[in-house]
Amino acid sequence: MSETGPTSRCGFVALIGAPNVGKSTLVNALVGSKVTIVSRKVQTTRALIRGIVIENNAQIILVDTPGIFVPKRRLDRAMVSTAWSGAHDADLVCVLLDARAGIDEEADAILTKLAGVAHPKILVLNKIDLVRREKLLALAGSANERLGFEETFMVSALSGDGVDDLRLALAGRVPEGPFHYPEDQMSDAPLRHLAAEITREKIYRHLHQELPYQSTVETDTWTERNDKSVRIEQTIFVERDSQRKIVLGKNGATIKSIGASSRKEIGEIIGQPVHLFLFVKVREKWGDDPNRYREMGLEFPKE
């Protein structure tokens, strides 16, 4: 198949929804490869990380936006602004609802605001394996009364149920045109960024409630070695010395565990042995530093 064939299709599909509706899990299921960070905690997706799907003659570029919620901090405002810009810039919008939660306060606010987005919209009810069929049909009916959805899909992103049908529908709906990315490129998020996201995910997994969200990870160096392995150095930034001690753990045990988990997963994704070196530094009030936002792919809110 030629990238520039007359029948090829290519377009951007934004996934919009409240925190924890399963957007990142759905991106990974559609792509068939882990391209976005998945965590039980809310607000793990900060920037517009794209997964790229090839289906028949179509290239679908998935924009996994941060969950839309009521912003309190400057970082929150940047994430919500980024999410809505993703909806307005896409060719097609997929609205994800948690089938268990239904149209709660967050979903209600999203449906109200989406009325001002002109692009075609598809409704995706996720986590259908946890809900009775009668409730699913009632939820689909209520949502379609609110917005003119072109189609409705019921999926379980975790099990993969219904994902193939959704992928085929998206392939048929993106506009005609040449591919934007090489066919073998699964994500345009640089590997450095993906590696940092993986380490950040492991921090949350290991520390749960102990560490607040004022932490970020940056990949400082990425060196391809002669033996086909990769040496990666990353810095974990926190806002206070007490947080630094939590990340390090007693005798460095916690950071060793985080590093081992991250190294294993990065190695599996890039298919090469990884030597990972983690450092923890205090950077006070990094949440107010415009440079940090740029590195995460976010606009810095002025207020």
Annotated binding site for GTP: 17-24, 64-68, 126-129
Sign of CA dihedral 151, 100, 17, 107: positive
Binding residues: 17-24, 64-68, 126-129
E strand or H helix at 210, and its extent?
A: none
List the Cα angle 220/28/67 in 5-degree steps.
80
| Whole-angstrom distance, CA of residue 234 vs CA of residue 38 | 20
Q: Which residue type sits at 213?
A: Y
CA distance 17 to 288: 26
* Cβ count near 299 (within 10 Å): 14
Beta strand pairing call for 230-238 and 92-98: unpaired
> How many of the other CB atoms lie within 10 Å of CB of 231?
14
Assess contact for 46 and 214: CB atoms under 8 A: no
To which residue do tokens 């001002």 refer?
116
For 239-286, the DSSP string reads SSHHHHHHHH-GGGHHHHHHHHHHHHHHHHHHTS-EEEEEEEEE-TTG
